[in-house]
Amino acid sequence: MTGLRVFISHAHEDKALAQAWQSLINTLTLGQVTPWYSSDDRGGGGVGPGEWRKAIREHMIEADTILALLTPGSNERPWLVWESGYAEGQQKMIIPVTFFIDERGIHDVFRDKQIYEGDKEPDTLRLLEELAGQHFGAAIPEASKTVWKTYVSQYMETVEQERTESLTRSLFHDHFHVRPTAERLSGTWYATWTEISDDGETMFESDRLEAWTTNGRIRFVGVSSKIGIEELIDDAAEAFYYPMEGVVSSDGMIALSYWSSGETRYCGTAILKVSGGTGRLLQGTWQGFTARNVDEEPTQRNGRVVMARDLEKLQAATDRMLSAKS
């Protein structure tokens, strides 16, 4: 009898869960059911050098059943959705297995399937029974299920270790740099920076910035308008610009660090948040070592900042900010 072949679809960061399922299935079926996953870097497993897309397709075609491991970090990954869509087109049985995520939050492509909770022992046992039943074509004896529980307990230890790892990763996914949110901030911005001192709040600097994002960071480059900056341009053109770099959260919080690249070294941080419903206004605070005039010694200063997509909106927001403080 040809053994059942199982393709384990997973994000690379969930490799430990894929390996745990492979080990569990191999052990409980005495190697008669063959599970495979792409990130297996042990001898003879996974995808080696070469055309990895072709290798994955071949293993999916050979498979009878697809286990799709869904975690907070992998649930929306395009590659998992693609693999499941490809398997659907090949008339494969697709079984979503969730970890540390509510069933209501999974991607639409999986919602019409029989879903198993891979972080719960009862569901894990039921899924193992389903896979073994597909292979053996008969119900699993109760005595065998009793033996299984020992190995499932070992599997659950791995799952609990991964729970902490997944939580750590999801914090970074959800609350640090979220590229789709950051992409909406790309383009030209105009900024007003104020300074708050014992004498009150006053205008500090106004400038223009260009923003763009990468997978891990949002970046701004500002065109400085400090007093005396023109005198440095001929000798040090880089002083005319200052870069800022940081991350954007899913709810529009922006954390930035900035520094100058000219003769005078300015540096600091800024915390901003999208204001209003249009996404065309940012407001927040800043602090750092800087000066109003390029001839002054930088000192520790702080204040507020407002950024807008156009100068008219910037002026209105600046007027509101200063009048509210006064």
CATH code of the domain containing 56:
3.40.50.450
212 and 148 within one domain: no
Residues 61 and 137 in one domain: yes
What is the average pLDDT across 307-319?
Answer: 93
Same domain flag for 238 and 165: no
Q: Are residues 283 and 196 in the same domain?
A: yes
Residue 60: burial class (beta carbons within 10 Å; 0-12, 13-18, 19+): buried
Q: Among the three residues 152, 175, 198, which one is the final residue of a domain in this structure?
A: 175
Q: Span 191-218, mean pLDDT? A: 90
Mean pLDDT of 240-260: 84
The domain boundary residue, chosen from 130, 146, 175: 175
Q: Band the pLDDT of 297: cuts 50, 70, 90.
A: confident
Q: Domain range for residue 225?
A: 180-325
- Between these two residues, 121 and 295, which has the higher pLDDT value? 121
Q: Kindly state the percentage of the chain with pLDDT values over 90.
A: 42
CA max distance for the chain: 87
* Total count of domains within the chain: 2
**Of the candidates 76, 118, 128, 119, the residue with the CA atom closest to the CA atom of residue 96:** 118
149 and 185 belong to one structural domain: no
219 by Cβ neighbours in 10 Å (0-12 / 13-18 / 19+) ranks as: middle
Q: What's the CATH number where 215 sits?
A: 2.40.128.120
Q: What is the pLDDT of residue 53?
A: 72
Same domain, residue pair 9 and 88: yes
* Residues 245, 282 share a domain: yes
Task: Note whether 123 and 258 are same-domain residues.
Answer: no
Do 190 and 121 share a structural domain?
no
Is residue 142 scored above 90 in pLDDT?
no
Where a domain ends, among 175, 200, 215? 175
Q: Is residue 170 domain-shared with residue 188, that is, in the same domain?
A: no
Same domain assignment for residues 151 and 200: no
The torsion region of residue 216 among left (phi > 0), alpha (psi -120 to 50) and beta comes to: alpha
Q: In the sheet where 34-36 sits, what is the strand order?
A: 34-36, 5-9, 65-70, 93-98, 116-117
pTM for the full predicted model: 0.56
- 22 in the same domain as 64: yes
Is residue 42 scored above 80 in pLDDT? no
* Residues 101, 166: Cα–Cα separation, whole Å: 10
